[in-house]
Chains A and B, each alone.
Chain A
Amino acid sequence: MSAVQIQNLSTRRLAGLCLALSLGFSAAAQERYQLSFHGIERSVNANGNETRRAITTRTLIRDWSNRAGVSNYHNLVLAFHRNVDSRGDAIEVVNRKTGEMVTTVFPLFFPESATSSTARTVKQKRFAYVYNLYHSEFSRGTAILNERLSINRQGVTNRFIVSGEMLWYEIPEGAKPLRIDTGTFKIGRKLK
């Protein structure tokens, strides 16, 4: 196995990612849940010392909205977008009042799942590849999600719960050096 093989294969899996997610899928049928995130970003500063920075729901909203050219964070929340397309889910910044999608933070694509189901419940342990739309040549991390879907007697979903853990990195950009990150998240209420 050569290094080139690794890159080529990883790249192929991601064909069309940028297009699909950047062209505003907010008009499509939505199933989004408010999400809270806690993590740690580690790096080395200009003095050569290791740094540690908390990653929170708020910092993700701020950082990724800024990248998208949005500086007014009023009403912005993190959302878990279930089945954003056939490739999987995504964590997004959305306006909770208007439902408008501001930017995609983490596509969680190409899931591989272990599943158990009864007439009323579906449980999944789900592995997914984490992408970064600004550097989408190949995945930049992974996530493991614990999902539980409850179905009522009419066969309609009445509860959906997800929690997850992520490992990922961010490549150097401008003055920002390589950052290696870990984090956990869980979802709350469904967004309208």
Chain B
Amino acid sequence: MKLKSIGCVVIGLLLLPLCGSAQSDSQYWVLSYRGTATSSGDKKLATRKITENDFIRDCATNSGASTDNLALVLHFNANELGDTLEVVNVNDPNLFRCEVFKLAYTFEGSAPQTYTNSAGTVMKRFAYIYSSDGGHSRGSIIIDRRESKRGRNPKITGKLQYWLGTWDENVSDPNAIVCAGTFKAVRALDLP
């Protein structure tokens, strides 16, 4: 570990891009989110804007915690099914972690719905969205990751469609909330 760090510093003086790429190995990426949530209304649909702050506030409220130091993050390869969207404490996810969605792109008997180009600079992934209330898919997400040629952080973006409400095998929820959104990674979460 020490050798790696030293190597990065020394080489970095000559070749900054290589050190930059070490940062892009992060599994946690802080997200900026823009979306909408639409619910039923008397005379018109009730649509409200959703940002990363709504996820953060909901998680904090449900846990009785403060929103200080919390961020919405994309956690690559968080479990055996794939990635997760989480709200975590940016100083240490072990201090606060709230799973918003499982983003399952690989599971038993199914090939991963992801591809990478041969240069390893492009990754695109389709995943099913699962909330914490069970094993039923609530939607889908496409994640796009493109490495920067100049050694900066990769460009990571995503597009989501999902719904919230009560799951019933045979009946639609009359109070369903239909949601869509996009996100982009603003920075890697550098953890100790």
A residues apposed to B, CB below 8 Å: 1-7, 9-10, 12-13, 42-44, 47-50, 110-118, 123-127, 129, 138-139, 141-144, 165, 167-169, 171-172, 177-178, 180, 182
Contacts and interface: CB of A to CB of B under 8 A. Distances in A.
B19 interface: no
B29 interface: no
Nearest to B166: A112
Contact of A178 (B115, B162, B178): B115
A116 B178 contact: no
- By CB atoms of chain A within 10 A, which of B108, B115, B173 has the most? B115
B61 interface: no
Interface of B: 38-47, 80-81, 102, 104, 107-111, 113-119, 122, 124-126, 128, 130, 134-137, 139-142, 159, 161-163, 165, 169, 172-174, 176-178, 180
Contacts of B128: 6, 139
Given A115-B174, A178-B113, 15 more contacts: A2-B108, A10-B137, A50-B115, A110-B172, A114-B38, A114-B41, A116-B44, A125-B47, A127-B161, A139-B137, A141-B126, A167-B141, A178-B111, A178-B114, A180-B126
A6 B107 CA distance: 8
A44 B45 contact: no
Nearest to B161: A142
B138 to A, nearest CB: 9
B113 A6 contact: no
B126 A1 contact: no
Interface of B is mostly: strand
Interface of A is mostly: strand
Contacts of A114: 38-41, 45-46, 176-178
B176 A6 contact: no
A167 B107 contact: no
B188 to A, nearest CB: 23
Given A1-B102, A13-B169, A50-B117, A144 B161 contact: yes
Q: Which 9 A-B pairs have the closest CB atoms?
A: A48-B118, A3-B107, A112-B176, A3-B108, A5-B135, A169-B126, A125-B38, A127-B163, A142-B140
B161 A165 contact: yes
30 contacts: A1-B102, A2-B108, A3-B104, A6-B81, A6-B104, A6-B107, A6-B128, A6-B135, A7-B109, A9-B135, A12-B169, A44-B115, A48-B118, A48-B119, A49-B117, A50-B115, A110-B172, A112-B163, A113-B178, A116-B44, A118-B43, A123-B45, A125-B45, A127-B161, A127-B176, A138-B137, A143-B161, A168-B126, A172-B111, A180-B142
